[in-house]
Amino acid sequence: MRVSKMMVTLALGTGALLAADELTQPQIDDVIQKFAAKEAAFARARENYTYHQTARIQTLDGGGNQTGRWEIASDIVFSTDGKRTEHVVRAPVSTLQEITLTPQDMQDLKDVQPFVLTTGELPKYFIRYLGKDMLDEIPCYAFAVKPKKMEQGQRYFQGIVWVDDRDLQIVKSYGRGVGLLKRNEDNQFPKFETYREQIDGKYWFPTYTIANDTLHFRENDVRIRQTVRYEDYKQFRADTTITFGDAVDDGKPSALPAKPGAPPAKKP
């Protein structure tokens, strides 16, 4: 985002990490490989689902009152010939004045905020084990993630992912989109949190992203709030086979409890 004449910062809010659960380096590497393999499978599975997406970005004054708003609602559907497409169902005229949305913002919205760390993406990132963490009563492994090298025109995730220590699936990510900017370009990007829920008893898909941040531009600061909801997942076709990841036992929550302002968790 740019402040309009141009625009994002980040703050890390995690649960306190528990005393390091001792894992050997081979064990850590094994966890990483396993959750990345599941990420790859779930990414393929999500390509076979339709869903409704609503994205909203607001600028706020010092009292938290809205000063501008951008919003788009769309259905991710399949055409009659089976091609996946985005159908915009609502796009009111933007009233944003303090910031301008950039192509990088649109790329972050599409690819970085619902971050998927697949086996194929692993070589692009440094991944560092932080220890065990309790995330809303779910024991998780926490990993810091940052790009090894950034290429022009590409966007990357930098932050933390939480991996369920039993199913080895990413259940939450927290960070921001990063990438190379042109010289003297004043383009800022907010910290965000993305929560996932279990869909159809085995697929952990993103369902909610929130950012509530102050963007520090050279000439001024702009407070923004962003929400993205992914709703009404429905399988269109089933040509992906998952050979791991049985349904979660009844005794364990199937989704993280909702945060303040987040939608209620959905049961499979």
Pair of tokens at residue 89: 């169902």
Proportion of the chain above pLDDT 90, given as a percent: 71
Local confidence band at 84 (pLDDT 50, 70, 90 cut-offs): confident
8 A C-beta contact, residue 248 and residue 198: yes
pLDDT at 53: 97
pLDDT at 256: 52
For residue 32, the SS3 value is: helix
Residue spans of alpha helices (H) in the chain: 25-46, 103-107
Average pLDDT, the chain: 85
pLDDT digits (tens, 9 = 90+) for 1-25: 776 543 333 333 344 444 445 789 9
pLDDT digits (tens, 9 = 90+) for 195-216: 999 899 888 999 999 999 999 9
pLDDT at 137: 86
pLDDT digits (tens, 9 = 90+) for 170-191: 999 999 999 999 888 999 999 9
8 A C-beta contact, residue 157 and residue 177: yes
In the chain, where are the structural domains located? 2-10+23-234
Q: Which is it for the CA torsion 6, 56, 67, 214, positive or negative?
A: negative
Residue type, 204: W
Class of residue 19 by CB neighbours under 10 A (exposed 0-12, middle 13-18, buried 19+):
exposed
Look-up: residue for tokens 């923004």? 224
Asked whether residue 158 carries a pLDDT value surpassing 90, the answer given is yes
Q: Return the closest-CA partner of residue 117 out of 33, 176, 193.
A: 33
Residue 245 CA to chain centroid, in angstroms? 21
Average pLDDT over residues 142-164: 97
